Structures are given as structure tokens and as C-alpha cells.
């Protein structure tokens, strides 16, 4: 397929194949503004192993009015001009008090054309658990995976449970195949802009 580039527009092109005509339309893509018309969310998944071998997950207690006091994974929007890695490090520090180091990208989730969530497996490298409330969070604490899965905790939402499963799977495989895992990091790109194309396809019989 060929397309004509005219300023901010990519014009449609017509393709005929097997007596069917397909129209490809590419619409104007305006300026993408991080925090205004697009959101990059950075998530930090952090485990610690208890003496009995069971895992605990670090959660933060929400300070937002609509979900005040509920628990959730450390997460937040990446700021304009900030890398995704810098975003997850900052969010974890602000919400939990811990300094973290992202080890691996676990998943990327997309909703529509303006919401992207990047979830990272992270390790604590410093800091102390947050116990003094502020606008970022009321504090942070460790909870057993069983408690979280059984929803014995007042969670803001349970959408992160699938991310926990991915993180636990990665944790097991990283121990078994530490030298053979393919790496996703680093991601040395800024997220202050993104070009998106929208396409509508119609087949005429």
C-alpha cells in the first residue's frame, strides 16, 4: 500500500484485489501531549520473601478521595519529558518510601489509543517503608499473596492480579534460567510524544 503524506494528513489509497476494492483511510494525527490526551502509566511490582518462603507484595494505600484508604500496587502517570523507567522509580519512591531498581518489563497493556500501562518487576535498593501520609499515598505495607488473591484486603481494584501472576512466573523462571532469559530492558526512550495512526477499513463486495 502506498500513501501520500500531506502535512499532518495521510491520504487514503485504493487497492483492488480479487474483484474487491479496499479503502484505507488514515486520518489527521494531532500533537500528542503526555498528561493531556495520552497517559503512560508506570507500575512497580515488588516482592519480598518471608522466612517461611512465602511471598509478600508491596502495596500502597490510596490518598485519592474517590478511593481513600484502599490498597493498590505502586503506580502512576509518567510525567512529560520523563522516561518510563524514571517514572516507575519516582512513583515507587513517592508512594512507598522505597528506592527501587526496575529489573524487567512484565507487560504492556493498552486501552484505546490514549492509555498505556507498563508494569515492571522491581527490586528494593534503599529507602524505608512510608508511614507518614501525604498527597501521594497514606503509606505502604507488605501483604501476603494469598491475602491479596483472596481479597481479604480492601483493594482499590483487582485488575493487577493478572500482573502478579506474570511477576511470580517471571520470578520462578529467572531463578531457573537466570543466564538464558531474553531481556526487555533498557527502554532508553522519552515518552513526551507519540505518533498514532487511525485506520478504518471497508470492503466493498
Q: Indicate the pTM of the whole model.
A: 0.72
pLDDT (average), residues 140-164: 95
Identify the structural domains of the chain with CATH numbers, from first to last. Answer: 5-31+194-204 (no CATH), 39-176 (3.90.79.10)
Give the pLDDT score at 189.
52
Q: Give residue-wise pLDDT tens across range 60-69.
A: 999 999 999 9
pLDDT (average), residues 100-124: 91
Give the pLDDT score at 124.
98
86 pLDDT band (50/70/90 cuts)? very high
Give the pLDDT score at 53.
87
Closest CA to 117 of 164, 158, 163: 163
Confidence check: pLDDT of 155 > 60: yes
Closest CA to 117 of 147, 157, 145, 148: 157
Q: Give residue-wise pLDDT tens across range 13-57.
A: 444 444 554 444 444 545 656 556 788 999 999 999 999 989 999
186 pLDDT band (50/70/90 cuts)? low
Mean pLDDT of the chain: 80
Residue 100: is it exposed, middle or buried by C-beta count within 10 angstroms (0-12/13-18/19+)?
buried
pLDDT (average), residues 91-97: 98
Give the pLDDT score at 72.
97
Give the pLDDT score at 169.
92
9 pLDDT band (50/70/90 cuts)? very low
State how far Cα 38 lies from the chain centre: 13
Name residue, grid cell 512513583. Answer: 91
- Cα(9)–Cα(40) distance, integer angstroms: 25
Q: Give residue-wise pLDDT tens across range 124-146.
A: 999 999 999 999 999 999 999 99
Q: Percent of the chain at pLDDT above 70? A: 68
Closest CA to 126 of 155, 92, 174, 158: 92
- In the chain the first and final C-alpha atoms are separated, in Å, by 20
pLDDT (average), residues 95-119: 91
- Are the CB atoms for 119 and 163 separated by under 8 Å? yes
Amino acid at each position: 500500500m502506498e500513501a501520500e503524506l500531506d502535512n499532518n494528513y495521510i491520504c487514503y489509497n485504493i487497492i483492488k484485489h480479487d474483484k474487491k476494492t479496499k479503502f484505507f483511510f488514515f486520518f489527521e494525527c494531532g500533537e500528542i501531549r503526555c498528561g493531556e490526551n495520552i497517559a503512560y502509566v508506570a507500575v512497580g511490582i515488588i516482592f519480598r520473601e518471608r522466612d517461611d518462603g512465602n511471598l509478600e507484595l508491596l502495596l500502597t494505600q490510596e490518598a485519592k478521595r474517590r478511593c481513600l484508604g484502599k490498597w493498590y500496587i505502586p503506580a502512576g502517570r509518567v510525567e512529560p519529558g520523563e522516561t518510563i523507567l524514571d517514572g516507575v522509580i519516582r512513583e515507587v519512591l513517592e508512594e512507598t518510601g522505597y528506592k527501587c531498581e526496575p529489573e524487567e518489563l512484565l507487560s504492556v497493556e493498552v486501552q484505546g489509543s490514549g492509555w498505556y500501562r507498563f508494569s515492571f518487576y522491581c527490586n528494593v535498593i534503599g529507602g524505608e517503608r512510608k508511614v507518614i501520609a501525604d498527597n501521594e499515598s497514606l503509606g505502604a505495607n507488605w501483604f501476603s499473596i494469598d491475602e491479596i488473591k483472596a481479597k481479604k484486603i480492601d483493594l482499590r481494584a483487582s485488575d493487577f492480579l493478572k500482573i502478579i501472576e506474570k511477576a511470580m512466573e517471571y520470578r520462578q523462571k529467572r531463578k531457573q534460567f537466570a543466564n538464558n532469559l531474553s531481556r526487555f530492558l533498557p527502554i532508553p526512550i522519552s515518552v513526551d510524544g507519540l505518533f498514532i495512526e487511525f485506520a478504518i477499513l471497508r470492503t466493498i463486495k
